[in-house]
Chains A and B, each alone.
Chain A
C-alpha cells in the first residue's frame, strides 16, 4: 500500500505491506534508525516517536495508520547536522544515558512533556517518562536532564529582566 507520511517536516511516500509497523517502516524504508525495537509489544518505549506531537509507540502502529499524520523522530529534533536541541544538549550535560538505546524515545517523551508543560515537577517528569524503560541509568540523570532543559528553555524565553540579570 502506498502511504504518505509527513516525517520531520517532509512528505515521504512509501509502499508498504499493510502489516508493516510504523517502526519498521521508519527504520527500513526511510533509513531513520534512531527509533529502536526493544520489545515490540508496547512496553519498553524504545520505539517512541511523536505523532501529531504526542508520544506514540511506533511498534504498535502500522505505517498505513500513519498516512497523512505528522511524525517527528529523534532525527528531527536537532536544527541542523552536528547541532543539538536544548533538551538533547541537557541529556549530554547530565549524562542522562549510557548505552543510548532507550535515549531517542526518552528524549521524545520528554520533548512532548516540555512542549505541554514548561515547568514540570519531578513527579511530572517521572510520569512522562514512565512508559520508557531505561536499564542503564536508574532514571536519576534523565530526570535531571529534563529539569535542566526546562530551566534553560524558561530562561531562554524569558525577558531579559526576568532572567535575573544573567550575563
Chain B
C-alpha cells in the first residue's frame, strides 16, 4: 500500500474512524433511544399456524385493560393503506403489514396492540382472541413447483413467482463438444444477517402540518417514497430523520411494513408510536430471512480441467410473499461465471412461495450462495481431473491482461489480477507446509481438510437486475449524492443523505473531500439532513458507498475547488489556467502572491464585486452521481450489472475429531483485492466480519421449520451466531488492482469475506471427510451432521470389511 500512500494524503492512510468515539462512549443514537413526549408502544400478535383463514379477531378483553389504547387488525390497515410494493409483475401476490383474511406463515403479524408501555402491550396481546380455520400449507420449494400444491396466494394461481430461463452463448454446442461433464446439487440453508439490534421505528403525525416524522433503523432505498405511497399521502408529507444510528443491517433493515403500521397508528391515535421488534418478532415475523436455495449445476469441461460451459438452476424458497427474494436470484447474473473464463451459461432462476417467513436483502444479495455453487463445481472438476484444487482454478481464471472482460451474461468486469493474489496467499502461508500440517493432523487420527474459494464481490450497486427480471421496470439509475457547504467563516460541512449501519460513511466522506480540497479531514463536519432536505440517495446497498458516496464526494469537491480557483484567479488577475490550487490557497502557477482559504471564502460570501462574472455568491457544490457503467436497459437477457469487481481468495485449514465432529479452524488466510482502499481499518473490519458471517452460514445458522410449519430456531439459543470462540485469527493478504471506473481506483468491500467463506469452509470439510467417500452438499454443516455422517461411513466400511 506504500505506492497508494504516496499518491494520496488521506485516502488509504491509517486514520481513525471518526464515528467510533460516540459509540465507545455509549452515545450512539439508536432508534430505541428516541423517546417522544406521549409516545405509545406497540406489540405484535403473530399467527400460530402456517396457513389459516382468520375467522374473527376479538380485541375486547385486551381493550378493557387499563393503559391499552388500540388493537389494529389487518382489515382496518388494508382499508386505510395501499399494498406494499412488489418489484415483480405479480399483482395478485398482495402484501400488507398485517395479515388480511388469511395468514401465510407461522409468526405472520395478525394484530398490533398499542399501550402505554411495551410490557402492557405484550400482556394485552395475550388477551386478543383470534379464531382460525386451518388451511393446507407447504414449506419445501420443490413441493411448491407441483401445480397441485396448496397455493400460498390462491389469487395468483400457483406458487411460482418467477421462472426465467437465460441462455448466454452456445451452451448446447459447448456441452456436446466437451469430453467431460458432471452434475451435482448443493443447497444453501435459510439464514440471514440477524443484526444484534432488531428493527425499530418511531412515527409521529402532526395533523395540522400534515407531516409524518419517522425515525427508524433503516438501510432502505426509496424508503420515504414507499411509505408515502402505502399511506396514500404525498411524499413531501413524510420526513425521515437520518441522524439515527443503525445497529447493524448488512442488507435486511428495510422495515416498510413496520413503518406503514406504526405510521398508520400514529395518524389514527394522534400520538407518537414506537414499534421495536423483540427478538421473537424479529426472527419469526420481521420478514428478514435470507435466501434458501437449491442449485442444480452441470458443467462441461475437458481433461485439462478447463470449464467451458455451465448450466445452473437456482430454485429459491421465497417464503410467503415476494419481498426481495426473486431479485436475489437476479443480482448474481452479474458475476455468474465467478472469476472464471466460462464461455457460455444457461441459468434458470426460479422463485416460489411457501408458508415461511419473507426474505429481505441479505449481504451479497444472492451472490454468496451462487459462489458456493460455483466453487463447489471447481472443486469437483479438479477432483474429476486429478488436479490440485488451486491449479484447476488458476487454469480457469481470467488473466490480468484480459480486463475489462465481458462475461456471457453481459457484464464487463473492470479489473483484476487473480493469479497474483493467489500467488501472494500461497507464499504467505507456505502452501506445502500447510498441506504437510493437514497430513500431520490426519496421521494423528484427526480429520483435517483444506478449503479453497476464489470469488468476486460485485460492487457499486445499480439495480439492473430489476429490469432484467421485470420488463415493466425501466430503472437505469441508482444515484448517490453529496453536498459540500463552506460557511462564511470557512468551515466545511458535507451532507450525506442516508443512515449508516456501521460502514463509517462519515469517515469516508470526510476523507475524500479532504483529499480533494487538501484540507484536514478532522475539520470537516458531516451532516445527515432529513429526507425532505436530501439529495437523491439509494443507501448503502450493493457494496456501493466507497464507489458511489466516495465518487460523489470527489466530484462535488472538484466542483468546489474549481470555483475557488476561478475566484482566486480572477482576484489575482490571472487567467484560470495560469492559477493553481494548493492546500486551500490559490496562487499563480509561477509562484508569488497567493490567496489563502479565508480570503477566498470571504470573497465568495461577502464580496460580490470581486467575484468573476456570472458567479453565484456563497460557496457550495453538489454532485449527483450516476453508477459508472450500467446505464442501459437489458437487451436479449444481457445487462451490465455492477461496475466493479473485488476479488477474494480464501484458504482454510480445518481440523476435527472424527467422533465429536466439531470443526476447528486452524488457519484462515484471505487474499483480498478491493482496489484502492480508502480507510484500511474499515476494510479490514468488513472483511473479518464478513468471514464470521460466512462461518455462521457454513456451520451454524439456519432458520429451521418443522413439518408442522413452525419455526424452531426463534431465539439465539437455537439460531447460533458465531462467538469469539468460533472465530479464528484471520490473516489478510492485501493486493491492489485499481478499478479503471472509479475516482481513486476503489472497489466495494462491504460484502467481502461473506462471499467466499461458506464455500471455503464447506470445501475444507469435504476435503476432511473425503477419505470416507462422503461429502456435504447442504449448508449449514452442523456438528451433528458431521459426526453422524462420519459414524455412518465408518459403520459401512467396517461392514464391508467383515462381509
Interface residues of A (CB under 8 A from B): 17, 19-20, 27-28, 32-41, 43-44, 46, 73-75, 77-78, 84, 88-89, 91-95, 97-104, 107, 122, 125-127, 129-143
Q: Is the interface of A mostly helix, strand, loop or mixed?
A: loop
Taking a contact as CB atoms closer than 8 A, the residue among B684, B724, B730 that contacts A95 in the complex is B684
Check B22 against A100 for contact (C-beta < 8 Å). yes
Closest A residue to B688 by beta carbon equals: A138
Bound-complex Cα distance A28 to B274 (A): 14
Q: Is the CB of A138 within 8 A of B692?
A: yes
Please provide the chain B residues from 485 to 502 with a CB less than 8 Å away from any CB of chain A in the complex: 501-502
Interface residues of B in 11-26 (CB under 8 A from A): 16-17, 19-26
Question: How many residues does chain B have at the interface if contact means C-beta atoms less than 8 Å apart?
Answer: 59
B70 adjacent to chain A (CB < 8 Å): no
How far is the CB of B575 from the nearest CB of chain A, in Å? 46
Does B196 make an interface contact (CB < 8 A)? yes
A139–B692 CB distance below 8 A: yes
Q: Decide: B716 and A138 in contact? CB cutoff 8 A.
A: no
For the complex, give the distance between the alpha carbons of A93 and B684 in Å: 13
Does the CB pair B717–A135 fall under 8 Å?
A: no
Residues of B within 8 A of A93 (CB): 16
Give per-residue flags for B576-596: 1 if the beta carbon is below 8 A from chain A beta carbons, else 0: 000000000000000000000
**B27 close to A (CB within 8 Å):** yes
Q: Which residue of A lies closest to B193 (CB)?
A: A135
Contact B25 A101 (CB under 8 A): no
Of all chain B residues, the one with the shortest Cβ separation from A100 is B23
Query: Is B753 an interface residue when CB atoms closer than 8 A count as contact?
Result: yes
Number of inter-chain CB pairs below 8 Å: 182
Chain A to chain B: the 4 pairs with minimum beta-carbon distance, closest first: A34-B26, A100-B23, A99-B502, A101-B247
Q: In the bound complex, do residue A98 and residue B684 qualify as a contact, i.e. CB atoms below 8 Å apart?
A: no
Which residue in chain B gives the minimum CB-CB distance to A89? B24
A84 partner, pick from B21, B246, B502, B722, beta carbons under 8 A:
B21
Is there contact, CB below 8 Å, between A130 and B279? Answer: no
Apart from A44-B721, A100-B247, list 9 A-B contacts with CB within 8 A: A32-B26, A38-B198, A41-B716, A46-B197, A92-B24, A97-B24, A101-B195, A129-B724, A138-B753
Known: A38-B196, A100-B247, A134-B196. A95 touches B20 (CB 8 A): yes
Contact B26 A73 (CB under 8 A): yes
In the complex, what distance in Å separates the CA atom of A15 from the CA atom of B182? Answer: 70
Q: List B residues 180-203 near A (Cβ within 8 Å).
A: 193-198
**CA of A109 to CA of B727, assembled, Å:** 18
A103 CA / B715 CA spacing, docked (Å) = 21
Q: Whole-angstrom distance from the CB of B81 to the nearest CB of chain A?
A: 29
Residue picked from A46, A88, A95, A103, most chain B C-beta under 10 Å: A95
A-B contact pairs, 10 of them (CB 8 A): A39-B716, A89-B24, A95-B682, A100-B19, A100-B502, A101-B196, A103-B23, A104-B26, A126-B724, A135-B692
Closest Cβ–Cβ distance, residue A97 to chain B (whole Å): 6
A34 & B715 in contact (Cβ 8 Å cutoff): no
| A140 CB contact (under 8 Å) in B32, B245, B501, B729 | B729
If the complex has contacts A100-B23, A133-B196, A141-B684, are A43 and B715 also in contact, measured as CB distance less than 8 A? yes
Q: Decide: B730 and A100 in contact? CB cutoff 8 A.
A: no
Contact with A along B678-718 (1 / 0, CB 8 A): 00011011101111110000000000000000000001110
Residue of A nearest to B282 (CB): A39
Q: How far is it, in angstroms, between the C-alpha of A37 and the C-alpha of B118 when the chains are bound?
A: 13
Which chain B residue shows the least CB distance to A87?
Answer: B24
Q: 1/0 per residue B269-311: CB within 8 Å of A?
A: 0000000101100000000000000000000000000000000
* A20: chain B residues within 8 A (beta carbon): 119
Does B481 make an interface contact (CB < 8 A)? Answer: no
* B692 cross-chain contacts in A, Cβ below 8 A: 135, 137-139
Q: How far is the CA of A77 from the CA of B249 in the complex (A)?
A: 28
Q: Point out the residues of chain B lying under 8 angstroms from A89, CB to CB.
A: 24
Q: Produce 1/0 per residue, B1-42, CB < 8 A to A.
A: 000000000000000110111111111101011010000000
Given A36-B32, A39-B715, A99-B246 in contact, is the A141-B730 Cβ separation under 8 Å? no
Residues of A within 8 A of B278 (CB): 40
B696 to chain A, nearest CB (A): 9
Chain B nearest Cβ from A70, distance in angstroms: 18
B194, A135: Cβ atoms closer than 8 Å: yes
